Structure 1
Amino acid sequence: MDFDEVLEELGELGRFQLTNYILVCLPVFFSAANSLSYVFVAGTPDYRCRIEGCDDRISPDYSASWVNRAIPDLEYETGTANSKYVPSHCSMYLHDNATVGEGAFANNDTCPLNFSTESIVQCTEWVFDSRDWTIVGEWNLTCNSNLWKLSLIGTIHFAGIFCGSMFFGTLADRYGRKLMFIVSIMLMTAAGIGQVVSNSYDMFAVFVYLNAVGTAGIYPLAFIIGVELVGRRKRELCGIVLNYFYAVGEAFVALIAWWFGSWRMLQLAVSAPAAIFLCYYWFIPESVRWLLARSENRKAKDIVTKAARANKVVLSSRILESMENATNEDDHDSKKPPMRQMLAMALSSKVLVSRTVIMFYVWAATAFVYYGLSVNSTSLSGDKYWNFALVCLIEIPGCMMALFILPRFGRRISLVGTLMICSITCGAGAVIPTSVYWAAILLFLVGKLAITASFAVLYVYTAELFPTAIRSCVVGCSSTMSRVGAMIAPFAPLLGTVFPELPFICFAAAPFLAAILAIFLFPETKGRRLPETVKEAEAI
């Protein structure tokens, strides 16, 4: 049966659907927060060498007045000039050999030692800014030799997203959307709390992976549960609003990180409250479409009847009878060519193979820049919390931009245009002086706006370029390739240790190449019917 006919009588977005849609959007808020909490949890705080004989042993002051006499400017390590003095992380001036007793200093305001600015040595103990406590201070992941461990946390996170996407997608088809939705939320919550109680880097990394596996299942299952019960004219709106919850959830991370200044409290705040969603087992319905696909017609009818009562509508006897006697649509699909045969035909087509390979790169490049800009936002001049929040919230107009340009300019121009805007702004960001703070931030935000729109366009464009039998497979594989780009993104800030402009150069080069490939090798699909066969796809 056509469930959309049921929705026409039930109401496309009645009280029942709206209530359940809002309920499934709330966990998306927390999944978004967990997806980027590592940016601050594994962020690099302000820290400097501990000066024996000058720093108080119990409560050293990072900003003590004498520090500039004992420690060179951070420029010594980074090669980048600062507008004001910032202590080096791992270097200090060599001091004289005078013996300093326990009572040589009364507080952090004085330092009795003499330092030689001609001799610089490396230190083995550090003083951290107490306003920003991360895993760097927790396990002394200091200096350039440990930077890879911080970037690795982001890669482990996206590896978990990679695995979780496949894991929960498969299980949801077998055991139901609702059950796997709740399981993914509980796994995210439990693993998030596991991060909070971790007592070593290795233990923490394991829980980061498990937390990401759980996080990966929440957004797609919320999308399915929320959107499958609304009418076709409301699906586009519901799909976009879900992204708004996601963007606000990402920005929420900056607020909590700023408020608490502690990585444990941050992770606890974005993970523990989600435990309340266990009650969804009794409150939200299973996907009616999934129940009908499994011939569980009675359960599907009960949900639709309950929805009708909430929406205050009366369903016709024809609709109720059709739900009782509905058959699995897979029976009708058996007359179509098997997917394996269609896949073999697609692989024998040079057009579709080259199109697929290029699409994989475009997805990976887009994800690399999309997540790379979020991660790198805390490295910009100015307040890192404000920068991060802005970069996340700009995704909302980015999604609206995609909705505006797709029907007006077509798929290819929309994709190429947004990729080129991102490339140009990131390239300009590499040459803008850091002292021109407002210009750097503006370029950064325009780049994130454009790459967000690119992502939204890609989902539509990819589905329209391939035949029906392999469409879902290609979209799924393309999404998987985007995870590869996402796993590389956390190492973007590490490139800045080579020279500061390198991350922006990479963010400019990746979408530029993607745009060039798309403009010359992808056809326009606007206004065309979806291809059913390989020949129809080749003919686009």
Structure 2
Amino acid sequence: MAFNEILESIGGVGYFQILHTILLLVPVTLLACHNLLQNFTGAVPSHHCRVPLDIALQTQGLNFTKDSGRAELLKPFIPMDQQQRFEKCIQYRTKDILPSTMGERGIDLSTEPCKDGWIYDSSVFSSTIATEFNLVCNQRSWKQVAHSIYMTGVFIGALVFGSLADKLGRMEILTWSYLQMGIAGCCAAFLPTFDAYCAFRFLCGVASSAISVNSISLILEWMPSRGRTLAGNFFGFSYSLGQLVLAALAYKIRDWRWLQFSVSAPYCVFFLYSWWLPESARWLILRDKPHKALVNLRKAARVNGKLKEGNKLNEEVMLCSEMQKEIMEIRSTHSVFDLIRTPAMRRMSICLVLVFSANFAYYGLSMDLQNFGISVFLAQALFGGVEMAAKLFVMVAMTFVGRRLMQFWSLSMAGVLVVSYGFAPQEKKLLCTVLAVTGKAFLACSITCMYLYTGELYPTEIRQTGMGFSAMNARLGSAIASVVHLSGDFSSSIFPMIFGITPLLAGLCSCFLSETKNSPLRETIHDVESRYQITNRSQITMGFLVIRYTVPNETKQNSENKIILTHNETYFSAMHTSMIFHRTFSNVLKLQHSILSLSYKKLQNISFLFSSF
């Protein structure tokens, strides 16, 4: 009995799977809050140099940020910019001016950097890390550095915890990560220095990656094949819901310390209930722990109301010849190098670098809400709401068109929209916002599809390592997006070009991945290689269109070593087996009821670049 059949026999997609998925998705929802938290905790409000006028008003206990007529009083102290707003980082030089003498006497029209700090507008945020640690003017890059440090933690977490989870188990790593996220997040909220804040945010990033990777693996490994698509899409759906939660929390909590605490403390609760969640039975079987797997499967059967079927399970059923063979195969050690050791795994891993591009563009758009010209709370809510609608579409589309085609179109459309945003006039705020929000929605579709797709592509014995590799590339893209922002404002057209071209290139790479729709999960590397070698494939490229020819076993070769193919044996890799495109191609080349003769040797030479992957 295959493992998928065991899951179906104890209830399939039953109460256990539903409850198990919900309990794993609630922490994932708050991961979105952590990943995008610095849009609010690091927001930079309007500010100007702290001048003697501000000192005098503070001394007298006046409301120096809203006092009527204050702008006129500030003009002798602070120059105006081209938009007739006070300069943020310079002031007129003062010569021993006293708070009691507020005239123009003692004022030099030459300018100097702010000497006594800054005055911040507190009408939107009462406190942020930018206002508390003065991360403005020549220190403004430190805000992006803080986010890059967090994303570096996410990157390292993906690198480390993917392999550890394959060796130690999914739940052990997940439980520890909940505790680490709760403690580190709360510490970051109340420590007094910027260095300490960055250090504990780094630890939050490490835990975030471990939670994300292990949650999706546990969901997929406890879900029978028919429910994997829906469960995988709910994983992405929960992340978008988290963006709406963040917008609501940030709107209500304007102090960055309490906002940081509010999205971190719940992980202590998640840590407590995680002790109830069972380890993956699939992983336990493949790690030669059938007794523990049997206990967990019977627990699932009991929750699903299939107690009788659960009692019928025994270790002999789970250690049938097929499973015993898989257990013997995985007793050899596996490492990250197994991802590129064999041809099929090598091609798969190289193509999955496209996740890097999707996350690079996604966070490039997500982490600069203040430059869209609308309320940051509204922008965050729009991003989350549109993503939820887009992912609802993906949940349906992937079921019908498959993973590969969905990935191709999501990345391609995102790239076109983000590049268009770069060419749109910046004064047309509505158009720019629509392009950016829609582009980000397509990127979210791609990422949602990719999480499910990656879990289905890699075999169980190195699934965590493979997903850790993909998450590592994704987080590397996120960290680099923060570094790109260090060089200037996102309003510059060069940034949308960078963030738009990379998804376009990634969309082309996705054409070389295999389709996994309605396919059982691969258990071993041997399964992946066997499926890859079922047919002898050759590929050629024509412009940007990949055309694949399948050579059936019964095809005969003539004395000149040529392969004879009828047009009915051709199909498009990027479109899977779409008869619409197939007929169009046949009609254009006049191949209806004809024979296409191709030189086998030349075709192999042309396709070597692709078939070697």
Residue 14 of structure 1 aligns with an amino acid whose one-letter code is: G
Kept in 2: contact 1:381–1:434 (CA 8 A): no
1:103-143, Cα deviation, whole Å (9 max, x unpaired): 55xxxxxx645798964432131001224221112122220
Distance 2:279 2:513 in 1: 39
> Aligned match of 1:187 in 176, 180, 185?
180
Structure 2 gap ranges (5+): 520-527, 539-547, 549-613
Worse-superposed segment, 171-180 or 331-340: 331-340
- Does the residue aligned with 2:232 lie in a helix, a strand or coil? helix
The aligned residue for residue 13 of structure 2 is 13
1:481 Cα offset (Å): 2.0
Matched, 1:123 2:117: no
Matched, 1:175 2:178: no
Kept in 2: contact 1:29–1:245 (CA 8 A): yes
1:243 Cα offset (Å): 2.0
1:214 Cα offset (Å): 1.2
> Aligned match of 1:262 in 255, 262, 265?
255
The aligned residue for residue 308 of structure 1 is 301
Task: Select the structure of larger CA radius of gyration.
Answer: 2
The aligned residue for residue 430 of structure 1 is 422
Kept in 1: contact 2:26–2:238 (CA 8 A): yes
The aligned residue for residue 477 of structure 1 is 469
Residue 489 of structure 1 aligns with an amino acid whose one-letter code is: A
Kept in 1: contact 2:232–2:448 (CA 8 A): no
Distance 1:175 1:183 in 2: 12
Matched, 1:421 2:413: yes
Q: CA RMSD in A?
A: 3.8
Distance 1:449 1:154 in 2: 22
What does 1:118-517 correspond to in 2, within 5 Å? 119-124=110-115, 125-130=117-122, 131-132=124-125, 133-143=127-137, 145-316=138-309, 319-322=312-315, 326=319, 329=323, 331-332=325-326, 334=328, 357=350, 359-360=352-353, 362-406=354-398, 414-458=406-450, 476-497=468-489, 500-515=492-507, 517=508
- Does the residue aligned with 1:127 lie in a helix, a strand or coil? strand
The aligned residue for residue 90 of structure 1 is 89
The aligned residue for residue 62 of structure 1 is 65
The aligned residue for residue 551 of structure 2 is none
Distance 2:336 2:237 in 1: 37
1:463 Cα offset (Å): 7.7
Kept in 2: contact 1:496–1:502 (CA 8 A): no
1:370 Cα offset (Å): 1.1
Structure 1 gap ranges (5+): 105-110
The aligned residue for residue 71 of structure 1 is 78
- Does the residue aligned with 1:277 lie in a helix, a strand or coil? helix
1:259-295, Cα deviation, whole Å (9 max, x unpaired): 2211111100100122122321443223222333334
The aligned residue for residue 107 of structure 1 is none
1:527 Cα offset (Å): 7.8
Kept in 1: contact 2:162–2:465 (CA 8 A): no
Kept in 2: contact 1:229–1:287 (CA 8 A): yes
The aligned residue for residue 532 of structure 1 is 530
TM-score by length of 2: 0.74
1:306 Cα offset (Å): 3.2
Kept in 2: contact 1:342–1:534 (CA 8 A): no
What does 1:20-39 correspond to in 2, within 5 Å? 20-39=20-39
1:348-396, Cα deviation, whole Å (9 max, x unpaired): 96x9868855652x32221110111110223210101210222233322
Kept in 1: contact 2:10–2:310 (CA 8 A): no
The aligned residue for residue 596 of structure 2 is none
1:465 Cα offset (Å): 8.3
- Does the residue aligned with 2:91 lie in a helix, a strand or coil? strand
Distance 1:188 1:6 in 2: 35
1:41-65, Cα deviation, whole Å (9 max, x unpaired): 2232222111213442356633544
- CA gap 1:303/1:495 in 2 versus in 1, 3 angstroms: same
Distance 1:464 1:19 in 2: 22
Kept in 2: contact 1:184–1:215 (CA 8 A): yes
Residue 410 of structure 2 aligns with an amino acid whose one-letter code is: T
Residue 396 of structure 1 aligns with an amino acid whose one-letter code is: M
Distance 2:286 2:462 in 1: 20
Kept in 2: contact 1:53–1:113 (CA 8 A): no
Residue 208 of structure 2 aligns with an amino acid whose one-letter code is: T
Residue 65 of structure 2 aligns with an amino acid whose one-letter code is: Y
The aligned residue for residue 108 of structure 1 is none
What is the total number of aligned residue pairs between the two structures? 519
- CA gap 1:53/1:334 in 2 versus in 1, 3 angstroms: same
Distance 1:189 1:226 in 2: 22
Identity, % of aligned positions: 25
Worse-superposed segment, 33-42 or 467-476: 467-476
Worse-superposed segment, 306-315 or 185-194: 306-315
Structure with the higher fraction of residues in helix conformation: 1
- CA gap 1:355/1:171 in 2 versus in 1, 3 angstroms: closer
- CA gap 1:117/1:353 in 2 versus in 1, 3 angstroms: farther
Worse-superposed segment, 311-320 or 388-397: 311-320
Residue 284 of structure 2 aligns with an amino acid whose one-letter code is: L
Kept in 2: contact 1:343–1:470 (CA 8 A): no
